[in-house]
Structure 1
Amino acid sequence: MITINNLTKTYKNFKAVDSISLTAKPGEVTVLLGPNGAGKSTTIKSIAGLLKFEGDITICDFPNKTVEAKKVFGYIPETPALYDFLTPWEHAQFIAKAYKLDDTWEQKIKTIFERLEIYDKKDKYVRELSKGMTQKLSIAIALLIDPRAVLFDEPLVGLDPKAINEVLKIFEELKSEGKSILVSTHIIDTINEVWDRAYIMNKGKIIRDISRDELEGRDLKTIFFELTEGETEECGQ
């Protein structure tokens, strides 16, 4: 579970996030939506432990910046944080050693690489890979540790339709395994079939918390635009 209680982040005199609370429950895909400047990126970076903040954030009941939390947490940033002169296989080796994974990690990453169609690129330098390939690699190494909670920040950007479909299948599988999945995205149409709960942000606040059961025949994109009054947000074609 990923839990945020009264998160506030202020940059000098600007309050980017204003006392928000949300929960990504086990066995659910929770999405975080909002127009540009809503505070999504600040929220994501706070969860990942990249910013100082006020409030409380826990990962599976552990404070988010602790070693215990990081052992059970997978994070896929919007811009992959990879090393240009390491290969995909060397990235996996690095993660396996850092997390003290058992000897089965090699077969596991091979399976993930093959599924995401990057196994044939495993010995190339990351600097030689396309944006889509680096995005797939970022997803693969996050899944290698078998996290109990996973944070995806714009995971579908740069992926081809086949890869998008595969990632959506991964979301469903993580759900079935009881994992907590939090997805920050602006491509609402693409995740329309997999989300369970949505938090809509605007101007630093959560302005709506809605479950799929509460739609009552409406669609999430329509609700989003009504609440944000048509503020700039790309929501798919």
Structure 2
Amino acid sequence: MLIVNNLVKKYGKQNAVDDLSFELKGGEVVGLLGPNGAGKSTTMKCIVGLLRKTSGEITIGGYDHLSVEAKRLFSYIPETPYVYDLLTVKEHFQFIGQAYGVPNWKEKTDELVQLFELEDKQDKLGRDLSKGMRQKVSIVCALIPDPQVLFFDEPMIGLDPKAIKNTRQIFRNLKEAGKTILVSTHLIDSVESIADRIMILKEGKIVGNDTIANLKQQFVQEEGTSLEDLFLELTKDV
């Protein structure tokens, strides 16, 4: 569903993303982990077309990632959620539903509004929303078109504990529906229970890419090792 081949993103002479290659299959939830500055957000922004890659090839559903066909297949939830200042919450959902030609957008939205407890916020303007509320609106907008692939960049930041729990449940529901999800985060425990596979970045390179169990076996081989221990082992300064 997603193929990234030899992706490079340079800033001057510095490689922010250094020759990354990986694939995501349909119905797979993959956690993209790494310390600050490892290249997680840069990788994701190159994939969705917000940053121009220096070199490499990226396809989504068999289409070039910058094509209209590819853009129809995915939704992107950025780390800093963007909403329109002068649209109400309800108008955001209407705009997305009509822009994507989603016939049942109202029914779908009602379900998501209840899940994220936004019923009493629907007439609020975007400029009056807290970061957590903006994040909820951003997630709902991303789900309305029923995308095949979803890219979440630090989705849990700003959410309250109940919303985090609901977001994890949405990940499980999306996985059961055969959707493909790439989640970038450095909140390790937020992805451990939902990810089929983990990719760990360090200085723009992949230093681990496998199931959590296999990575533990390869790199730690100690009973009771947590994902956090594994992460610290793989990203430590040599």
Amino acid at match of 2:96: I
Amino acid at match of 1:64: H
Distance 1:122 1:230 in 2: 48
Amino acid at match of 2:140: A
TM-score, normalised relative to structure 2: 0.92
Q: State the partner residue of 2:220.
A: none
Amino acid at match of 1:92: F
Q: State the partner residue of 2:151.
A: 151
TM-score, normalised relative to structure 1: 0.93
| Deviation of 1:24 (Å) | 2.3
Q: State the partner residue of 1:171.
A: 171
| Deviation of 1:213 (Å) | 4.1
Q: Helix, strand or coil: the match of 1:189? A: helix
Q: State the partner residue of 2:229.
A: 222
Q: State the partner residue of 1:58.
A: 59
Q: 2:18 matched to 1:11?
A: no
Q: State the partner residue of 1:83.
A: 84
Distance 1:63 1:122 in 2: 36
- The 5 A counterparts of 1:2-151 are 2-53=2-53, 54-102=55-103, 104-151=104-151
1:117–1:210 Cα change, 3 Å? same
| Deviation of 1:212 (Å) | 3.2
Distance 1:29 1:66 in 2: 24
In the alignment, structure 1 segments of 5+ residues that lack a partner are 232-237
Amino acid at match of 1:221: E
Distance 2:181 2:119 in 1: 25
| Deviation of 1:174 (Å) | 0.6
| Deviation of 1:137 (Å) | 0.4
Distance 1:8 1:176 in 2: 33
| Deviation of 1:219 (Å) | 2.7
Q: Helix, strand or coil: the match of 1:86? A: coil
| Deviation of 1:97 (Å) | 2.1
8 Å CA contact 1:22, 1:199 repeated in 2: no
Distance 2:59 2:119 in 1: 34
In the alignment, structure 2 segments of 5+ residues that lack a partner are 218-222
8 Å CA contact 1:29, 1:195 repeated in 2: yes
Q: Helix, strand or coil: the match of 2:143? A: helix
Amino acid at match of 2:68: V
Q: 2:206 matched to 1:202?
A: no
Amino acid at match of 2:177: E
8 Å CA contact 2:82, 2:134 repeated in 1: no
Amino acid at match of 2:115: R
Amino acid at match of 2:159: L
What percent identity do the matched residue pairs reach? Answer: 50
8 Å CA contact 1:17, 1:39 repeated in 2: yes
8 Å CA contact 1:197, 1:209 repeated in 2: yes
8 Å CA contact 1:88, 1:122 repeated in 2: yes
Amino acid at match of 1:33: L
Amino acid at match of 2:33: L
